[in-house]
Amino acid sequence: MQQIANYINGQAVASHSGRSQPVFDPATGVAHTEVSLATADETRSAISAAATAFVSWSQVTPLNRARVMFKFKALLEQHRDELAVLISKEHGKVFSDAQGELTRGLEVVEFACGIPHLLKGEHSMNVGRGVDSFSLMQPLGVCAGITPFNFPAMVPLWMFPIAIACGNTFVLKPSEKDPTVPMRLAELLTEAGLPPGVFNVINGDKTAVDVLLTDPTVQAVSFVGSTPIAEYVYATGSAHGKRVQALGGAKNHMLVMPDADLEQVSGALMGAAYGSAGERCMAISVALCVGDAVADALVAKLQSEIAVLQVGPGTGVTPEPQMGPLVSQQHAAKVRSYIDAGVAEGAVLVADGRQVAADSAGFFVGPTLFDHVSSAMKIYREEIFGPVLCVVRVPSFAEGLALINQHEFGNGTAIFTASGEAAREFAAQVQVGMVGVNVPIPVPMAFHSFGGWKRSVFGPLNMHGPDGVRFYTRMKTITARWPSGSMPTGNQFSMPTMK
């Protein structure tokens, strides 16, 4: 069986760890590849390659670093379909969704192509008489990225294009569940002319992650994944003196007001709840309906839409199904156990996905809809990360808003309404990082920054956009005077102020 190892110093390098795990095609349940799990020493060798490469890469002009990004962008476009098939074969999402993932990642590369402009810094002339002040945004050194299974291309692309365009070097530790695409991205970067060692991939598990979090050479760590691991990464990396941004889990609510267009709401919810089999950190997993009339009408609409939703393999089937399998057997079993728990807790199971494609060896769970869910239930409180939508009935806007604000997660949310006043109040009061107004999945574009609130994020700076540039650079402020008559003479012992 093909073995995926590491990518260090511009080439694939076999692992001698003796530890590996199978990589499955979730649509068939068959393992097609094995991924090696790197040793601590192998991880250190990637860090060392990145540290060596930093010496010269940080001196390459921003314009020339941007030119590598332009070539990388062209290669991503050229290989878009090939990459989308690879995503589908290991993650399970349908081909068109995988293409969408790539596009959203590509947009970060486009943003990074503008790095000469983004690194211009600030300049003030005459902050005092004959004194000027300006800032430099300098790279940090070796940066690390640790990424989840659900966006094997897009989430790494949130990080490394900006990091390396800023002049850093990078070690990526992708999810061990779908490692092929990150390795292809490394090959394409080399083809784009990126010098060896600037971008490295270490495949592995906690052993590799712990080295990245503790090795003193690593200056910054970007993490995306579940909340318990995000918290661990933030605490451990910070305790070892690193800059850390760690994005965690979610439970995203949509508030449906009585004046919302229910045709629009049901269409938006179908995609937001069941697209990518619910394995999106911005998926909507709770519909808060204001009033029973809204809930009854919406549940009826969703039920009839679910009845015709096609579930099947992400590639090779025409017409393309709307939903593929979950990523692994274990994850599918976990999602089914949440459905069991919802039934046991007394929620009304309107659509049951537990038996969909039961004759297939693939990891399928069908679209599932619960009505009459209460905030005390486990299916409401916890992130399920599967195609399970919970309808919660609330009497008013205020009680819906309060529920969202009380939830431990605060990644994304949306309101569907025809009232500008309700939308404005919602945007102002909701304790969530990314808010949609009649937009179900409000993922910010690459030139804005992505991040949640509460226990969906640890660390002050979000991903990509302006925050991405701030995260991957260190600001230095220079205050300069060129004396010719303006230099004060004599000793000065009081706090200097500009004259």
Contact yes or no for 147/156 (Cβ under 8 A):
yes
What's the one-letter identity of residue 227?
Answer: T
- Count of residues engaged in binding ligand NAD, rule: CB under 6 A: 27
Residue placing its CB nearer to ligand NAD in the complex, 62 or 225? 225
175 near ligand NAD (CB under 6 A): yes
Radius of gyration of the chain (CA): 25
Residue that is written with structure tokens 């430099």 in the block: 136
441 near ligand NAD (CB under 6 A): no
224 near ligand NAD (CB under 6 A): yes
CA-to-CA separations, 212 to 21, 176, 208, 216, 404, in angstroms, rounded: 21, 16, 7, 9, 35
What's the one-letter identity of residue 488?
Answer: P
| Least distance in angstroms from the C-beta of 114 to ligand NAD | 23
Rounded Cα–Cα distance for residues 245 and 223 (Å): 6
What's the one-letter identity of residue 337?
Answer: S
Residue placing its CB nearer to ligand NAD in the complex, 62 or 451? 451
Candidates 77-85, 220-228, 344-352, 388-396: pick the segment binding ligand NAD (CB under 6 A). Answer: 220-228
**Which two three-digit tokens encode residue 140?**
């940090």
Strand partners, 4: 35
36 near ligand NAD (CB under 6 A): no
Strand 131-139 with 199-201, pairing? unpaired
138 near ligand NAD (CB under 6 A): no
Q: Of these residues, 113, 143, 166, 281, which one is catalytic? A: 281
181 near ligand NAD (CB under 6 A): no
CA-to-CA separations, 404 to 279, 377, 396, in angstroms, rounded: 20, 15, 13
35 near ligand NAD (CB under 6 A): no
Q: Which of 105, 148, 167, 314 binds ligand NAD (CB under 6 A)?
A: 148
> Strand, helix or coil at 276?
helix
**Which of 286, 278, 299, 308 lies closest to 349, judged by CA?**
299
286 near ligand NAD (CB under 6 A): no
452 near ligand NAD (CB under 6 A): yes
Binding map of ligand NAD across residues 187-206, x = CB under 6 A, - = no contact: ------------------xx
> Strand, helix or coil at 139?
strand
- Binders in 237-276 for ligand NAD, by CB under 6 A: 247-250
173 near ligand NAD (CB under 6 A): yes
| Least distance in angstroms from the C-beta of 411 to ligand NAD | 5
**Which two three-digit tokens encode residue 339?**
């459905």
Q: Which of 168, 180, 456, 462 binds ligand NAD (CB under 6 A)?
A: 456
Rounded Cα–Cα distance for residues 159 and 446 (Å): 11
**Which of 166, 243, 190 lies closest to 49, judged by CA?**
190
- Exposure string over 17-29, b if 16+ CB within 10 A, otherwise e: beebbebbbbbeb
Q: Which of 225, 312, 386, 440 binds ligand NAD (CB under 6 A)?
A: 225
Rounded Cα–Cα distance for residues 184 and 76 (Å): 10
Active site residue 281: yes
Residue placing its CB nearer to ligand NAD in the complex, 168 or 276? 276
371 near ligand NAD (CB under 6 A): no
| Least distance in angstroms from the C-beta of 223 to ligand NAD | 7
Q: Which of 147, 315, 322, 417 binds ligand NAD (CB under 6 A)?
A: 147
Residue placing its CB nearer to ligand NAD in the complex, 250 or 295? 250
**Active-site amino acid positions:** 281
Q: Which residues in this chain contact ligand NAD in the complex, by CB under 6 A?
A: 146-151, 155, 173, 175-176, 205-206, 209, 224-226, 229, 247-250, 281, 383, 385, 411, 452, 456
